[in-house]
């Protein structure tokens, strides 16, 4: 038996599961039978596999009864039967519970049109919860074929990874629905869903190899079929686009996308049976904002990217999960950009990259990849460093190599390793081989990427001119002073007097000849590098003189870098305000998004008269831009212009406290149709009215949450309940989150917003603090640290001390590193507040 409590022995290797499950939805239970065909690689005195929260009725090995023990501590089923090298067959009967913790095979509910509660049995196996559904070798490199049969009520829909191939009546009145065997895949990708559900007619998507087309469906609760068209359109586009990009046909027979009422994650890439939260698959495009639709498109394309990168080719162990998710993040943006070029998806990705910068600037950040012993150690990988930093690093590599070279390398990697398991370095080697074989220059892909993957942080690249020489220096970025000597292999794109060139900054300094001492230089031109840039006074002055000529991303980065200099203590908040006032003529959404982040940050640094003075400065900056766009949407305008109008309206009404903007927002909410407002203005007005809302408004919002027509509208009104200005209103919202009326997947995020409330966040934190045990019992494990993330905004010294002390005694084991980052960021924000306490009010006076 293996001495490692987290890794099974490699003596018995499964290659096929024949599984039958019969759920009892009313009793929240199931019975099961599994036959596991395996090969014994060597002599073994016992067989060890995984099982937890299951009742094992019987075990047979090669047709003979075998003694067994269940070890709940190690989550193992140990079968005391010796085996010789060769084939071996395990047969196990068992029972289980459809749990309420949204993992394994679990119970989800909804209320039907007649007001009756309906129950669904659905699954979420990643990372190690397949063992809660049936005994299995529950590690990613134990790939096997799964032949699944579900025995269900004939009125219920049953869905699994493969298409339905057989249906037979049972003596008890149920039907046995058998699904086609899967390709060899990992246990964490197994899925089965049963219940009173409906499916759309399939959209038939052509297959790259000319074979049978791929039937694409959306499965949903009854009555929501009218919300499926957008998701089907995105899904069909993505299936075509990915086959073309990878040069590999879709790896299984069908594609079902399921909208589930209860789901702890955003979505899950189960092969051919992808599960989603309802608000991430179902939408009405006529009432949804651009961000709401883009989020759907992002999540759908992300999950479909996994069908190849993750499902067809899978990491050997959980340390590699970051690459699965980072690559799918990269691909979602690329695919979404192809689907809707007008959304400028690579530009908006800069906002997400900034979120990764925020965490990666901390001393408590982590390397992208790190050793994982226990599977739960990888829980900390499901964060911005995996998704946004990892995706950004792949984008940086792609832009340095060239899009075609990168694409060929990815295709080579997938073809080389299909149906197998890999380590991270296998991708870098495949890309490097592909570049070399294509006649391209020798590029040290593994060396380059290892410097980013295995080291925490990222560089601040300083740029200065010495005569006609551009001097680039790198040092790890930090909030505050640092002598950290970490060096990265940095691909730097330069724009010198309008001409582009690429250099590799491999040491602490690189000197680059420029045409003259008067040269204009943009470092990280195009904005795709994972770095911040600090220019000397001469270069910065030249850049500021040519702002209109810079790309949107270049201008975004200037603002974003400036705000982070404030947080780091190298730029005064008042100087930041003056700097962004130089962008008053800008009309690009991304630039204003960066400005808004900084303005909201500054707004939290002032109170009283200084806050009123700050509001006047915000109004003076924002009002001209809003006047240019107008409060009435224009026929034919693009989505991003409408989105900018909504952003500016919110800044005026909420951050600036502008009475006219508040009045206009209330008029929109009173009668959206008469106002002519589009979804962007309606969404902005929803928050604006809440931020100054009365108790009557609160009651109306609560009713709108309870009776919403779409998942997006429901969440919009739910989360707006955290924006209200009165202490008693926030108390009501906190109570609502704990009441059980709000789904457990959403309640932690409602509490997150309550803690972020500008006026009553401390009160909300106190309430969560008091009910900490209840929160941990009620809510999914992966949402707990997200629930308290916004304590980093609470900066009064006594509150900081309380928060830090509380978590020293109440750790979050499943997110220990993320909690460290939240607490450090709170200390960084508190230091910022202390620095600015005297000088910012004086500057605003």
Q: Which residues participate in catalysis according to the annotation?
A: 303
Q: How far apart are CA 503 and CA 765, in angstroms?
A: 48
Q: Using CB atoms within 10 Å of the CB of residue 164, give its burial: 0 to 12 exposed, 13 to 18 middle, 19+ buried.
A: middle
SS3 per-residue string spanning 236-295: HHHHHHHHHHHCCCCCCCCEEEEEECCCCCCEECCCCEEEEEHHHCCCCCCCCCHHHHHH
Q: Under DSSP, is residue 811 helix (H, G, I), strand (E, B) or coil? A: coil
CB atoms within 10 A of CB 702: 18
Percent helix, percent strand, percent coil in the chain, to nearest 5: 45, 20, 30
Q: Under DSSP, is residue 414 helix (H, G, I), strand (E, B) or coil? A: helix
Query: Of the candidates 494, 465, 477, which has an alpha carbon nearest to the alpha carbon of residue 532?
Result: 477
End-to-end CA distance of the chain: give it in Å, rounded: 73
CB–CB of 729/695 below 8 Å? Answer: yes
Per-residue DSSP letter, 605: T
Half-sphere exposure of 739 (CA within 13 A, CB side): 10
Tokens of 251: 């790896």
Residues with Cβ within 8 Å of residue 11, at least 6 apart in sequence: 40, 41, 42, 43, 44, 47, 83
Query: How many residues are there in the chain?
Result: 845
Per-residue DSSP letter, 313: B
In the block, residue with structure tokens 């995020």 = 749
Per-residue DSSP letter, 328: H
Q: How far apart are CA 694 and CA 728, in angstroms?
A: 11
Per-residue DSSP letter, 402: -
Find the helix packing angle between 761-770 and 797-809, rounded to 10°.
20
């Amino acid at each position: 038996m293996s001495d490692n409590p987290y890794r099974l022995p490699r003596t018995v290797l499964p290659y096929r599961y024949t599984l039958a499950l019969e759920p009892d939805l009313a009793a929240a239970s199931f019975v099961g039978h599994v036959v596991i065909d395996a090969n014994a690689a060597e002599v073994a005195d016992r067989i060890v596999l995984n099982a937890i929260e299951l009742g094992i009725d019987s075990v047979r090995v090669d047709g003979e009864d075998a003694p067994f023990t269940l070890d709940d501590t190690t989550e193992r089923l140990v079968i005391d039967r010796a085996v010789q090298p060769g084939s071996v067959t395990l047969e196990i009967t068992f029972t289980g519970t459809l749990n309420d913790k949204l993992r394994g095979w679990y119970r989800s509910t909804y209320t039907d049109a007649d007001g009756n509660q309906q129950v669904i049995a659905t699954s979420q196996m990643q990372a190690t919860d397949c063992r809660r559904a049936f005994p299995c070798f529950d590690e990613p490199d134990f790939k096997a074929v799964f032949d699944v049969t579900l025995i269900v009520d004939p009125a219920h829909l049953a869905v699994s990874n493969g298409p339905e191939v057989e249906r037979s009546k049972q003596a008890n009145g149920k039907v046995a629905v058998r699904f086609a065997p899967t390709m060899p895949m990992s246990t964490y990708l197994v899925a089965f869903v049963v219940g009173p559900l409906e499916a759309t007619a399939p959209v038939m998507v052509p297959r790259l190899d000319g074979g049978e087309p791929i039937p694409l469906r959306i499965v949903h609760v009854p009555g929501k079929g009218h919300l499926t068209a957008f998701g089907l359109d995105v899904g069909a586009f993505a299936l075509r686009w990915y086959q073309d990009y990878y040069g590999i046909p879709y790896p299984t027979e069908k594609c079902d996308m399921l909208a589930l009422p209860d789901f702890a994650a955003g979505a899950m890439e189960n092969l051919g049976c992808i599960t989603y939260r309802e608000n991430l698959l179902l939408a009405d495009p006529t009432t949804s904002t651009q961000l709401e639709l883009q989020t759907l498109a992002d999540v759908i394309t992300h999950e479909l990217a996994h069908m190849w990168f993750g499902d067809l080719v899978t990491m050997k162990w959980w340390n590699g999960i970051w690459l699965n998710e980072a690559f799918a993040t990269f691909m979602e943006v690329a695919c979404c950009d192809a689907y809707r070029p007008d959304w400028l998806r690579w530009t908006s990705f800069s906002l997400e990259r900034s979120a990764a910068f925020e965490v990666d600037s901390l001393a408590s950040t982590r390397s992208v990849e790190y050793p994982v012993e226990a599977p739960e150690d990888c829980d900390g990988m499901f964060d911005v460093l995996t998704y946004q930093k990892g995706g950004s690093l792949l984008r940086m590599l792609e832009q340095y190599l060239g899009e075609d070279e990168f694409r060929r390398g990815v295709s080579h990697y997938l073809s080389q390793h299909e149906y197998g398991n890999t380590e991270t370095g296998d991708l870098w080697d495949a890309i490097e081989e592909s570049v070399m074989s294509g006649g391209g220059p020798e590029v040290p892909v593994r060396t380059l990427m290892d410097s980013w993957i295995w080291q925490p942080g990222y560089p601040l690249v300083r740029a200065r001119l010495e005569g006609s020489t551009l001097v680039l220096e790198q040092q790890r970025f930090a909030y505050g002073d640092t002598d950290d000597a970490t060096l990265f292999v940095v691909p730097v794109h330069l724009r010198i007097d309008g001409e582009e060139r690429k250099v590799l900054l491999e040491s602490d300094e690189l000197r680059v000849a420029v045409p003259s001492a008067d040269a204009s230089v943009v470092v990280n031109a195009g904005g795709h590098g994972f770095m911040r840039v600090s220019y000397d006074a001469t270069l910065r002055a030249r850049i500021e003189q040519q702002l209109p000529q810079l790309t949107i991303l270049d201008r975004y980065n200037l603002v974003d870098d400036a705000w982070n200099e404030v947080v780091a203590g190298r730029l005064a908040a008042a100087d930041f305000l003056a700097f962004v006032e130089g962008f008053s003529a800008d009309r690009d959404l991304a630039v204003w998004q960066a400005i808004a982040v900084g303005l909201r940050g500054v707004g939290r640094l002032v109170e009283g008269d200084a806050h009123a003075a700050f509001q006047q400065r915000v109004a003076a900056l924002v009002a001209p831009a809003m006047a240019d766009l107008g409060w009435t949407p224009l026929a034919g305008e693009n989505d991003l212009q409408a989105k900018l109008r909504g952003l500016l309206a919110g800044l005026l009404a909420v951050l600036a406290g502008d009475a006219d903007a508040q009045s206009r927002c209330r008029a929109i909410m009173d009668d959206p149709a008469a106002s002519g407002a589009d979804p962007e203005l309606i969404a902005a007005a929803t928050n604006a009215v809440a931020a100054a809302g009365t108790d009557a408004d609160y009651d109306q919002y609560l009713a709108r949450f309870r009776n919403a027509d779409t998942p997006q509208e429901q969440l919009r009104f739910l989360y707006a309940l955290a924006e209200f200005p009165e202490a008693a209103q926030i108390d009501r919202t906190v109570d609502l989150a704990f009441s059980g009326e709000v789904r457990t997947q959403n309640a932690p995020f409602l509490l997150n917003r309550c803690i972020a409330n500008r006026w009553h966040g401390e009160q909300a934190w106190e309430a969560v603090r008091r009910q900490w045990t209840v929160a941990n019992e009620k809510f999914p494990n992966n949402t707990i640290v997200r629930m308290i993330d916004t304590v980093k905004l609470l900066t009064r010294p006594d509150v900081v001390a309380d928060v830090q002390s509380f978590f020293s005694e109440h750790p979050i084991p499943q997110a220990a590193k993320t909690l460290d980052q939240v607490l450090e960021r709170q200390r960084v924000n508190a230091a910022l507040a202390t620095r600015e306490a005297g000088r910012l009010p004086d500057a605003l006076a």
